[in-house]
Amino acid sequence: MSPKRLEDMYDAVIVGAGAAGLSAALGLLRSPEVAELREQGLDPKILVVSKLQPLRSHTGSAEGGIAASLGNIESDDWHWHYYDTIKGGDWLVDQDAAKLLAEYAPETVINLERQGVAFSRTEDGHIAQRRFGGHTRDFGGEPVKRAAYAADRIGHQILHTLWQQCVAQGVEFAEEWYVTDLVLTEDGSQAAGIVAMDTHTGKIHAIHARNVLIATGGAGRLFHTTSNSWDLTGDGMALALASGLQLEDIEFVQFHPTGLAHTGILLSEAARAEGGILRNAEGEAFMERYAPEHKDLAARDVVSRSIMAEIDAGRGVADPKDPNGPKDCVWLDMTGIDPKRMAQALPQVVETIEQYANLDPAKDLIPIKPTAHYTMGGLPITTDGEVYRWDGTRRTVVDGLFAAGECSCVSVHGANRLGGNSLLDACLFGTRSGRTLAARIVENPAGSPMADDASDELLTAAVDQAADMRNQELDKLLQGSTAAGQSDHGEGDENAYALMARLGSIMERALAVRCSADTIGNALEQLNTSIRPAAEALHAHDKTAAFNQEVTAIWEVRHLIELAEAVLQASDARHESRGSMRRLDFPERDDEHFLAHSMVSADGTVTFKPVIITDYPPKKREY
Ligand SMILES: Cc1cc2nc3c(=O)[nH]c(=O)nc-3n(C[C@H](O)[C@H](O)[C@H](O)COP(=O)(O)OP(=O)(O)OC[C@H]3O[C@@H](n4cnc5c(N)ncnc54)[C@H](O)[C@@H]3O)c2cc1C
């Protein structure tokens, strides 16, 4: 699908069609303000741009559930959810945002149900709920069933439902359009629009808009081993850096302990709950040493760190697919599980192992390693979804610029996210940002007699200029190629895919699960001496612009490089261990100096912003 009215000024352009982008579009269109506008015969002009067909967005991969204290199975209270979220985030959570998250979670889930999400049901017809790590009753007591689910495909259900609702509302989509630039006015105070390439034709478009919302998802592709889909290259975060904005708490990346080696695909915790055991090269069930009480079922970050400690101590194993490769895995031993029980309780795990590793979990040991799963940080936003700058003392909102979902940081996840809270974040804060947008649009709708033409001209000029520059760059990328399939740069030159793999390995060695000043310093050096020059020399091997996926891959790897630098700089500046981040050289949490959000810019400057604490002062960390 391509948009019809491109030459016009849009009221709002939304970049991203996952749970966050689609929730924002629906929040906007269903607001009372827009209903009133429509009664006056004015229809807001909204465009949703997505580099993928919307139903391929990563939201569709979420299996487990969405958290809400519905209390359908066991008694629950949103205050408990609120507390768990703060504690799970190791107290780096802004409590005003977490309060909204927990308080409005039940309403968010019920709204999803009313729109058509087919949740699993209890026998008496209520939405079914299951347990997820870290969700408790009575402020840290016994576990509670809080995650509403739809078999093992909650994300698929949510994504399809929201998309169908958008189609019903007549939302205009630009599908398989890749956004290359976020454009602000010259003084950086206001959003002006975006530049995007229609990948079907290879044509660059200037898209003018009074409001822009970034909902581009996470950045798992920073690491070689990730559970994220191929498209999660942190584009929105890199676009923000490139337009002079900061990223908040970007050093916090959650790793899931059991990713299938070399694919990163998640093997659910259920594999260990059913009796799977982690073993090192010597066959030792090493979790007994690190967590004598919970062993293989200790918290995710504890298991991930223990696996990396074994690998660092030389007790790792090589992936059987690459026997001479690095010994950077450990074994998951499921051979003790009764094969019948395995087929019944773990069908998805068994299928993944058979199809992607060609191994039989009833007989073979399975190579696994921690896999990059979720980006806690991102574009800093207010609880109404507005992107802001931090000058060391106060926030200044960028007019007309919004963000939502995994690419944003409203700071509900702090230093570590609780399972089930990210779909909730994307749907709830996505909807809220859509409503804020609606209120702005009503003040000054495009095409209305109130439209401010002089200011529109300024915005238009800024976007047109950015599009011209992007066009020139595209020409250069294509000129670097000769005939189809050939390169005039000699054989040694690198392609974007190989470079992405190299960057992923560097980041993995530097930051996966644990880091230190040395690992960060090494990575920064390699980034600047080897990766950046290689990225600058990239060119497409085919002259054709239409469907030239190598061109978008070049932009993606360049985005990843800018983001990698920011993540490394923010990690370097945090001299403590907190949540998902373990610094070997600063093993303790340091509330006196680092109970604060990092704010990093493209030039590597890191400043800190206080955490909003309203109800629950930090408690000591429990291991
Ligand atoms: C395997 C897996 C399982 C998960 N399970 C759960 C779970 O059980 N519960 C839970 O709460 N969370 C879970 N999560 C996390 C959760 O699914 C995500 O955080 C959430 O879906 C993110 O939604 P989003 O809308 O922000 O981004 P996404 O759904 O990733 O969508 C991003 C959108 O941005 C677009 N885009 C990106 N860059 C560009 C560009 N340059 N130009 C144009 N468009 C662009 C893409 O096309 C896409 O439409 C899971 C994640 C994974 C990877």
Least confident of 44-53, 268-277, 379-388, 422-431: 268-277
Mean pLDDT score across all residues of the chain: 92
pLDDT range class, residue 32, cuts 50, 70, 90: very high
Continuous H helices in 313-403? 339-345, 347-357
- Give the closest residue (by CA) to ligand 1 atom 35: 16
pLDDT of residue 121: 94
Pick the closest to residue 295 from 329, 333, 262 (CA basis).
333
Confidence check: pLDDT of 534 > 90: yes
Q: What is the number of the ligand 1 atom nearest to the C-alpha of 66?
A: 11
The alpha carbon of 587 is separated from its chain's Cα centroid by a whole number of angstroms, namely 26
| Cα 382 to ligand 1 centroid, rounded to whole Å | 20
DSSP string, 322-336: STTS---BEEEE-TT
- Average pLDDT, integer, range 528-548: 95
| Cα 231 to ligand 1 centroid, rounded to whole Å | 9
How confident is the model over 69-88, as pLDDT tens digits?
A: 999 999 999 999 999 999 99
pLDDT of residue 281: 97
Confidence check: pLDDT of 299 > 90: no
Q: What is the number of the ligand 1 atom nearest to the C-alpha of 233?
A: 38
| Cα 412 to ligand 1 centroid, rounded to whole Å | 17
How confident is the model over 84-103, as pLDDT tens digits?
A: 999 999 999 999 999 999 99
User: Which residues contact ligand 1 via a Cβ below 6 A?
Assistant: 15-21, 49-52, 54, 57-59, 61-66, 154-155, 178-179, 215-218, 227-228, 231-232, 235, 266, 374, 405-406, 419-423, 426
- Give the closest residue (by CA) to ligand 1 atom 9: 420
Task: Please identify which residue in the block is written with the tokens 């030039």.
Answer: 603
- CATH of span 257-370: 3.90.700.10
Strands in 117-171 per DSSP E: 129-136, 143-148
- Give the closest residue (by CA) to ligand 1 atom 51: 62
| Cα 159 to ligand 1 centroid, rounded to whole Å | 10
Q: What is the number of the ligand 1 atom nearest to the C-alpha of 180?
A: 41
Neighbours of 321 (CB within 10 A): 14
Residues labelled as active-site residues:
300
pLDDT range class, residue 451, cuts 50, 70, 90: low
Neighbours of 426 (CB within 10 A): 31
pLDDT of residue 298: 80
Beta-bridged to residue 208, according to DSSP, are 193
pLDDT of residue 490: 44
- Give the closest residue (by CA) to ligand 1 atom 5: 62
Task: Fill in the DSSP letter of residue 127.
Answer: B
pLDDT of residue 2: 63
Neighbours of 202 (CB within 10 A): 15
Q: What is the number of the ligand 1 atom nearest to the C-alpha of 405?
A: 26
pLDDT of residue 483: 46
pLDDT of residue 7: 63
- Average pLDDT, integer, range 508-534: 96
Domain locations along the chain: 257-370, 462-590
Question: Both tokens of residue 268?
Answer: 């659910």
- Give the closest residue (by CA) to ligand 1 atom 2: 62
What is the edge-to-edge ordering of all strands in the sheet holding 203-208? 177-184, 191-198, 203-208
pLDDT range class, residue 484, cuts 50, 70, 90: very low
pLDDT of residue 193: 96
Q: How far apart are CA 588 and CA 277, in angstroms?
A: 29
Percentage of the chain with pLDDT > 90?
A: 81
User: What are phi and psi for residue 606, nearest 5 degrees?
Assistant: -120, 125
Confidence check: pLDDT of 59 > 70: yes
Q: Which residue out of 381, 423, 555, 558 has the highest number of ligand 1 atoms within 8 Å of its CB and is therefore the one to mutate? A: 423
Least confident of 70-74, 247-251, 512-516, 617-621: 617-621
Q: How far apart are CA 218 and CA 399, in angstroms?
A: 24
| HSE-CB for 299 with a 13 A CA cutoff | 14
**Quick check: 487 and 470 in contact, CB under 8 A?**
no
Least confident of 291-295, 412-416, 450-454, 575-579: 450-454
Q: What is the number of the ligand 1 atom nearest to the C-alpha of 216?
A: 34
- Average pLDDT, integer, range 181-192: 95
pLDDT range class, residue 4, cuts 50, 70, 90: low
- Average pLDDT, integer, range 1-23: 84
Which of helix, strand or coil describes residue 549?
A: helix
Element (H, E) at 319: none
- Give the closest residue (by CA) to ligand 1 atom 14: 62
- Give the closest residue (by CA) to ligand 1 atom 13: 62
- Give the closest residue (by CA) to ligand 1 atom 27: 217
Confidence check: pLDDT of 105 > 60: yes
**Quick check: 351 and 224 in contact, CB under 8 A?**
no
Q: Which residue out of 55, 59, 177 has the highest number of ligand 1 atoms within 8 Å of its CB and is therefore the one to mutate? A: 59
Confidence check: pLDDT of 5 > 60: no
How far, CA to CA in Å, does 329 sit from each of 263, 290, 508?
12, 17, 13
Confidence check: pLDDT of 469 > 80: yes
| Cα 202 to ligand 1 centroid, rounded to whole Å | 25
Q: Which residue out of 58, 66, 176 has the highest number of ligand 1 atoms within 8 Å of its CB and is therefore the one to mutate? A: 58
Least confident of 16-20, 39-43, 59-63: 39-43
pLDDT of residue 462: 93
Which is more confidently placed, 346 or 452? 346
pLDDT of residue 274: 83
- Average pLDDT, integer, range 312-330: 93
How confident is the model over 562-594, as pLDDT tens digits?
A: 999 999 999 999 999 999 999 999 999 999 999
How confident is the model over 195-205, as pLDDT tens digits?
A: 999 999 999 99
Which is more confidently placed, 463 or 622? 463
Confidence check: pLDDT of 512 > 60: yes
Q: How far apart are CA 573 and CA 604, in angstroms?
A: 10
Amino acid at 99: K
Confidence check: pLDDT of 453 > 70: no
pLDDT of residue 318: 96
| Cα 236 to ligand 1 centroid, rounded to whole Å | 12
Q: What is the number of the ligand 1 atom nearest to the C-alpha of 424?
A: 11
pLDDT range class, residue 120, cuts 50, 70, 90: very high
CATH of 462-590, one of 2.60.40.10, 3.30.420.40, 1.20.58.100, 2.10.109.10: 1.20.58.100
| Cα 62 to ligand 1 centroid, rounded to whole Å | 9
Q: What is the number of the ligand 1 atom nearest to the C-alpha of 179?
A: 42
Q: How far apart are CA 67 and CA 243, in angstroms?
A: 34
- Give the closest residue (by CA) to ligand 1 atom 3: 62
Which of helix, strand or coil describes residue 372?
A: strand
pLDDT range class, residue 446, cuts 50, 70, 90: low
Q: How far apart are CA 623 and CA 607, in angstroms?
A: 29
| Cα 217 to ligand 1 centroid, rounded to whole Å | 5
pLDDT range class, residue 452, cuts 50, 70, 90: low
Percentage of the chain with pLDDT > 70?
A: 95
- Average pLDDT, integer, range 28-54: 92
How confident is the model over 399-445, as pLDDT tens digits?
A: 999 999 999 999 999 999 998 999 999 999 999 999 999 999 988 76
pLDDT range class, residue 310, cuts 50, 70, 90: very high
Confidence check: pLDDT of 486 > 50: no
